A and B are shown apart, each in its own frame.
Chain A
Amino acid sequence: MALPIYVLDTLFYSSLLFLIIAGLNLIYGILRVVNLAHASLFTFGAYATAWITTSLIVPRLGENLLALMVLPLVLAVILVILVSLALVTPLLRYSQGRGDAFQLIVTFGLLIIFEDLFKLIWGPHPVSAYNLFFQMGFIDIAGLRYPVYKFYVILLTAILALALWYVTYRTAFGLVLRASSMDPHMATALGLNTSRFLFIVIVLASALAGLGGSLYIPVASVQLGLSTEFLVIAFVGMVIGGLGSFVGAVVGSLIVSSLRTLTLIVFPELELVVLYLVAVIVLLWKPEGIGGGRGW
C-alpha cells in the first residue's frame, strides 16, 4: 500500500512551501508589501546550492555526507541574505506605503531582473546537484523505496517551524513582531527601532526562502521560470492559510500540499483546478484565510 509514501511526500512538499510562504507572510505581515520577487530568493538559494555543491564542495571534499549537508546550505543561505540585502531590501523599503500597484510593479520587475541574472550566471539549461539525495540513501516503506533525504527535510522544517513558533509566541522579540504586524504605528510610538527591526525581519524572510531553495535542490533541478511556478502555488497557500500570519503559513502549506496529493491520486488532470477552486471558496467563505490573517 502506497499510502504512507503519499503522506510523506505531502509533508515534504508542504515543508518547501512553508519555507516560502512563511517568508512571504512575514514580509506582508510586517511591511505590508506583497513581494513578488520573494520566490526568486528561493530559486537563487537553489542555484547557489547547486553551484557550491558541484563546483566547490564535491571537487575538494568528495561526497562527504556531513560536508554536503552543512556547507552548501550555510553558504547558500548567507549568499541569499547578502543578495537580498543588496537588491531586494532597498526596493522593499522604497515600496513600503506606496500602494499595491506600485509594490506589485516594483517587485515584479525585480523578479524579471532575477530571471535574467540567473540566465546570465547559470545559463538556460536546468541545473542540479543530487549528491545529497543519493548519499543519504533509501529505505523500504510498504514495499517501496523511499529517499531518506525527504525525511531529513521534513524533520528539519518541522524543527524550524517549532522554533519560529517559539520565537513568535514565547519571546519578547515575538511580542514586538506580532505587535508591529497588528499596529505598526503604535509599535513605533512605543519606541520600537523600526529600521533595525525591519532589517531583522527581511533577513529572516530571506534566510527562510534561501533555506527552502537549498533544501529543494538535492531533489529536483532548478531552471529558469521556477520562481514563478513556486510563487503562484505559494500565493494560493497564502490565500488559503491567511495573509501575513505564521499559522497561515503552516495551514496554507499543509492544505495546498494535501490537495495536490489527493487530486494526483484521484483525478490528476484537476490538480490545479482544485487548488484554485479551494482558494476561491476560502476567499468567499473566510476572506482572512483558514489560519486567520490578522498579522504575524
Chain B
Amino acid sequence: MVSRRDFIKGLVGGLIVGAVAGAGAVYVAGPRREEVKPPEVGARIPTTPLKVGLQYMTKGGGAAWGDPTYKGARLAIEEINAAGGILGRKLEFVERDEAGADATKAEFEKLITIDKIDVHFCCISSGNTPALAPIAEEYRVLTFFADGCTDILFEKVVPNPRFTFRITNIQSADGVTAALGAIKFFNLMEKDKVRVAHIHPDYAYGRNAYQHIQVVFEKVLGKDRVEIVYEGWPKLFGVTDFGPYITSILASGADVLATSLWAADWINFYKQALGYGLFKKVKVVSTISHGIAPHMVGSDYPDGQIAGVHANYYFLYPEHESYPLNRDFVRRYYERWGEYPTNGSEGAYVSVYLYKSAVERAYQALGRWPEPEEVIPFLEGASILGPAGILSIRARPPNKHQGYKNAITGISRVDPKLGFSIVADPLRIPIERVTVPEGWEGPTEPTMTYNWIKATWREGVLPI
C-alpha cells in the first residue's frame, strides 16, 4: 500500500523527472534481447496482473478494419507476457465492443467501473475517439487510440489532453498525402485542367478526406485548373451496388477520381468499376484502398492507381532487408494470425509497447510502479521505433498527444509472388511537410492543417 506521503513525494519527484523525461526518450516496439532489469524482491510493484481494456470494432462492417487492429494489440500483449509482463506484471485483457459512439461510451464506462482496467487501448472510428477522450480524462485512465484519427479530437474536443494519446497519423495527413501522390505520380502539374470526381463515405472521415484532397489540389495546381465534376456520398457500408455511382462518374468525364471509400465499400466499388471499365477512363486516387488486410486487395486490382494506406504504414515498408524491426514484426504477425498486418495492426501493436516503455522508464525514475499521471511525462515528447519507423508523440499544441510518423502512399501493382495488389513505388513524405506544426496558431475550422495549407503553402509549388 502506498502511503499518501509517499505518493505525493513520488508525484513531485515524478514531475521533476518527467519535465525532461519524455523529450528525447526513444523506445523500441517489439521483444528485445535486453529487457529492463526486473524489480528486486520487495520492490513496490503490485503483484496483481495489469488489467488492459481492448475496444476495437470487431463486429459489423468495421470489423475488416478493427479485427487486424485488435490482432496487433493482442500480439504485443502476448509477446510482453511471454517475456514476463511489464515489470513482472502479466497483462490481462478485457475485451468490449466498439460500435456507435453511445454504445462505445457505455462499454468504456463498464471497462472502467466494472472491469477496473489500468490502461485502455481502443478505437478505430473517428466517431468514437472524441466521445471517449473526455471520459478517459475524467476518470484519469491512460488511453491509447490506435486510430479514430479525426483532427477535431486534439484540436477541439480535448485541446489540452493529459491521459489520451493517439498513435496513427492525423486524418488530414491522409487526404493531403493522397493528393500529393496523385499530383506527383499522375503528373498533374503538367495538365491545363484537371476534372475531379469525388466519392467518399458520408461521415466525418469522408468529409475530411474530401476537404484536404481538394485544398491541396487547389493550392498546388491552382484553383482555376481544378474542376469538381461529380460528388458522391454513399452511406458507410450502406451501399452494395455502386452501379449508379459508377455510371455518374463515367458520365461526368472526370480525369481523376478521388476516394476514401474503405474496406468492403472499396472492394465492392473497384470490382464493379472493373466491370464498367472505369479504370480505363479515369485515374483513381485513394486515401485508403490498400489499408485493409493486404491479401483482400485482389490480383484483379488495376495497376498504376494511387494506393493509399491511411498515410501510415504498409507491411512491405520500410523494406525488410534494410529494417529488421519491420521484417520481424511482419513475420511474427503472420505466424500468429496467418495474414499480413495492416496499418491498424501496427498502430495498436506500437500503442501497447509505447505504454510498456513509458511505464518502465517511469519505474526507473521513481523506483516504484507509477500512477497513471506519473507515466504521462514519459510519453509526452517521447519517440518509439516501431515497425513503420519512428513515431513521435507531440508534447505541445496544436494536436498535443498526437503521434506523428512519416506519411506514405504509392502506386498499385500486382505482385505475382504474393498474388495480390501491393503498394509499390512508395512515396514517403516527411510528416512535417503535410501537417500543421507544433506552435502554429490559426483557425480550427474545418481543421488547422487545412488552414495552415491555405495560409502557408505557395501556390503552384509542389511542396515535396
Contacts and interface: CB of A to CB of B under 8 A. Distances in A.
Contacts of A5: 243-244, 247
A126 B267 contact: yes
B276 A229 contact: no
Nearest to A140: B277
B244 A119 contact: no
B239 to A, nearest CB: 8
Contact of A128 (B233, B242, B267, B276): B267
A225 B59 contact: yes
B137 to A, nearest CB: 31
B176 interface: no
B283 to A, nearest CB: 18
B264 A9 contact: no
A145 B276 contact: yes
A102 interface: no
B272 interface: yes
Interface string B224-246: 00000001111101101111110
Interface residues of A, number: 42
Contacts of A190: none
B231 A268 contact: yes
Contacts of A225: 59-63, 237
B435 to A, nearest CB: 28
A145 B275 CA distance: 7
B177 to A, nearest CB: 25
B272 A219 contact: yes
Interface of A is mostly: helix
A216 interface: yes
Nearest to B59: A224
Contact of B64 (A13, A130, A223): A223
Nearest to A123: B67
B81 interface: no
A12 B276 CA distance: 15
A65 interface: no
B241 A219 contact: yes
A150 B202 CA distance: 26
Nearest to B278: A145
In this complex, which of A5, A6, A216 has the most chain B Cβ atoms within 10 angstroms of its Cβ?
A5
Interface string B241-275: 11111011011000000000001100110011011
A279 to B, nearest CB: 16
Contacts of A134: 274-275
B275 A124 contact: no
Contacts of B245: 264, 268
B73 to A, nearest CB: 15
Kindly state the interface size class of chain B when it binds its partner: 35 or more
Contacts of B61: 223-226, 229
A63 interface: no
B216 interface: no
Nearest to B252: A2
A150 B62 CA distance: 28
A221 B267 contact: yes
Interface in A106-134: 115, 119, 123-126, 128, 130, 133-134
Given A119-B63, A124-B58, A229-B240, A2 B247 contact: yes
Nearest to A228: B60
A150 to B, nearest CB: 7
Given A12-B243, A134-B275, A145-B275, A269 B233 contact: yes
B282 to A, nearest CB: 13
B463 to A, nearest CB: 32
A264 B240 CA distance: 14
Given A268-B233, A272-B235, A224 B60 contact: yes
A49 to B, nearest CB: 14
A145 B276 CA distance: 5
Contacts of A89: none
Most chain B CB inside 10 Å of its own CB: which residue of A115, A220, A228: A220
A220 B267 CA distance: 8
B63 to A, nearest CB: 4
Given A16-B241, A144-B277, A269-B233, 5 more contacts: A124-B67, A125-B67, A224-B60, A229-B237, A265-B244
9 contacts: A124-B66, A126-B264, A138-B277, A219-B241, A220-B272, A223-B263, A224-B63, A229-B240, A269-B202
Closest 9 pairs (CB-CB, A-B): A225-B60, A124-B67, A124-B63, A9-B243, A126-B264, A223-B264, A225-B61, A220-B240, A220-B268
